[in-house]
Structure 1
Amino acid sequence: MSGRPVVEVIDPGIQSTVQAWPGRTGLLAQGYFPSGPMDHLCFRASNVLVGNPPGAPALEIDKIAMSVAFLEDTQIALAGPEGIHARLNDVPVPIWETVRVRPGDVLRTANPGRPGYRLYLAVRGGLDVFEALGSAATSLITGIGGVEGRSLLRGDVLSALPRDPVSARRFPEALRPRFTTEWELEILAGPRSAPDFLTDQDWSELVSLPWRVDLNSDRVGTRLHPHRFRWANGGSIVTGGHPSNVLDDAYPVGGLLANGDVLTILGMDGNTSGGFAVIATVPHCALWKVGQVRPGRDTIRFRAVTYDEATALNRQVDFTIDPGRVQVL
């Protein structure tokens, strides 16, 4: 590690972690979900605004509330829901824009009840933390990456790699994601869906009903309110008593897991395998939305897409955070 101390945590909020994108890819067979940011769109955008590589280590701030002090003259950027309170020395500062900070400056963020759940803070040069299994992303389940594999605590000091400043930048409003309390999430059917597991009517209900996000949701999984499907199969003694039970199988990132009558969208710290049917999968283009739904308040409606549609939407999302799209101020 060769960085200089730049950020001191005053109040870490409910759960703030160092993340890096895309996390630990290619390790599902070894029992590691990738970790990394729950909202990869805002995360990458914050880095682009300070001239970092899009995946450089930065802060993920759950429930948007956090306070930090800066120890060096540097540049930062915040990316997340519009309408949040972000104040530098009690003076409002913009999000989606490069901000210069000086030693002794204090940044405080809060959400006054507006849509959205996570905020991202990038520092010029990227946070300098140890990598574990090829990534600096914090995995709270396995306790690796970031700062000792845990969420941040009061008094933690984070370093950043020294880099020359960049020209101030801003993301055009037209390219910024829109936040709501009623989300539409694209899904791909399967790997275990109709007609082998769900009935056609079950699938119709899945993509037509509003699903309330349960308060007990986190980086492991976003739980939805219970619903009893009819199921095309009746369960078996071999796999278990409920029709959602299967012999242990691998889980994809963003998998919509049927744990009995409770659906759960697997998050970035999810389980790699288990004995429940994955009836649909959230593609890359919609994963950022899962990171912004607010537990206990928001609702989700699912929209089925084809593989080709999902691929096109993936390209569209990646287009919005291309460094060539930002405005130089």
Structure 2
Amino acid sequence: MTARRPHETVPALEVLEPGLQTTVQDHPGRVGLQALGFFPAGPADDLAFRAANVLVGNPPGSAALEIPLGQFQAVLLYSGLIAICGAAGSEITLNGEPVEAWEALRVTAGDVLTCGVARGPGFRLYLALSGGIAVPEVFGSRATFLVGELGGFDGRALAKADVLDVEAGGRGRSARRRVPRSLRPSYTDAWEIEVLRGPHADPDHLTTEDYAELLSTPWRVDLNSDRVATRFHPHRFRWARAGGGEAGGHPSNLLDGSYPLGGILAYGDVLSILGPESHTSGGFAVVATVATASLWKVGQLRPGRDTVRLREIDLATAADLQRHAEFLLDPRHMERL
């Protein structure tokens, strides 16, 4: 189940303050294992995650840290590059001096990195270290799956005094780069998120009026949202049928089927966007699905504060959004420092 560690690693970081729930993730996580009950895990915001890796010269999917809400501190144990991307409003310092997000920073052993509380907009920060974090692969990925207690650093969130290694091969040999402000994603507290219809939309499950309400309602992000699901405030739809038949009494009930990552699940009167550690199947309607290129927005929704409006797009537009994301992540489009 567990592959060997890379042959050559060096200690790179010791955790002084772990924050709320800092985890090691990689991208795209454990793909292809949904039939075995595994959603992929990986970063909730893959765009900021991959950008941080590209800035330090890593492959975009290399293992790095996801830091929800900030409030993280660590001492560096090696010389190399680091980069932090993601939520705004966090005071980031290196040895007490303010430094910028969205650009590579050169560090040496003994440097102290501090991330203050991310006051927003946005919710999650991502810290990449040149070389990539070296933890064992589990089922082909280094991503932490908290629900299953596997992957990452012993299958758990980081704690004080944890020491992380990086692979020795690629430590800081790249030039320093910065993501131009014009290419950085725009964060807000009132989001528009692109979705595709269904697979259980109108007219078979929702009414036409229901679906119109799905797209026009400003959905409030519930405080109990996490990597499993982003939950919205309750809303009573009309539904196109009286019940779920043999699947159950509520019209949102279905015979068990597979769920997509980013699916908007109707659990009775509560809608949830299925996150990277969600359940892979079940018996409820998926009324819409977040476009892959827009999943990063879900990862930056702040529980208890932000609102969301859903905008329906078609497959061609979804593909265009994906191409735009790849443009941002191309090192040729970044500024050299």
Q: Could you say whether these structures have the same fold, taking a TM-score greater than 0.5 normalized by the shorter chain as the test? A: yes
Aligned residue number for residue 125 of structure 2: 119
Aligned residue number for residue 218 of structure 2: 210
**Letter paired with 2:199:** P
Q: 2:10 aligns with which of 1, 4, 20?
A: 4
When residues 242 and 158 of structure 1 are mapped into structure 2, their CA distance, relative to the original with a 3 A threshold, is same
**Letter paired with 1:20:** D
Within 5 A, what are the aligned runs for 1:57-206? 57-111=63-117, 113-162=119-168, 163-164=170-171, 165-206=173-214
**Letter paired with 1:301:** R
1:84, distance to aligned residue in structure 2 (A): 2.0
Unaligned 5+ segments in structure 2 are none
1:37 paired with 2:23, answer: no
Per-residue CA deviations over 1:65-95 (Å, capped at 9, x if unaligned) read 2111111112100111233210111110111
Aligned residue number for residue 253 of structure 1: 261
CA RMSD of aligned residues (A): 1.0
Distance (Å, rounded) in 1 between the aligned partners of 2:242 and 2:16: 54
Within 5 A, what are the aligned runs for 1:226-241? 226-241=234-249
1:266, distance to aligned residue in structure 2 (A): 0.3
Per-residue CA deviations over 1:16-61 (Å, capped at 9, x if unaligned) read 0000000011111111000000000000000000000000000000
- Which range moved further: 68-77 or 17-26? 68-77
SS of alignment partner, residue 201 of structure 2: coil
Per-residue CA deviations over 1:75-124 (Å, capped at 9, x if unaligned) read 10011123321011111011111101111111111235221100000000
Within 5 A, what are the aligned runs for 1:310-325? 310-325=318-333
Q: 1:301 aligns with which of 309, 312, 315?
A: 309
| TM-score relative to the length of structure 2 | 0.96
**Displaced runs of 4+ in structure 1, greater than 4 A?**
none
Q: 1:14 aligns with which of 15, 20, 24?
A: 20
SS of alignment partner, residue 13 of structure 2: strand
Distance (Å, rounded) in 1 between the aligned partners of 2:323 and 2:54: 17
1:237, distance to aligned residue in structure 2 (A): 4.4
Unaligned 5+ segments in structure 1 are none
Aligned residue number for residue 279 of structure 1: 287
- Which range moved further: 164-173 or 218-227? 164-173
**Letter paired with 2:259:** Y
**Letter paired with 1:46:** A
Distance (Å, rounded) in 1 between the aligned partners of 2:191 and 2:68: 18
SS of alignment partner, residue 206 of structure 1: helix
| TM-score relative to the length of structure 1 | 0.98
Taking only the aligned residue pairs, the percentage that are identical comes to: 53
Conserved? CA contact 2:230–2:273, under 8 Å = yes
1:238, distance to aligned residue in structure 2 (A): 1.1
SS of alignment partner, residue 207 of structure 1: helix
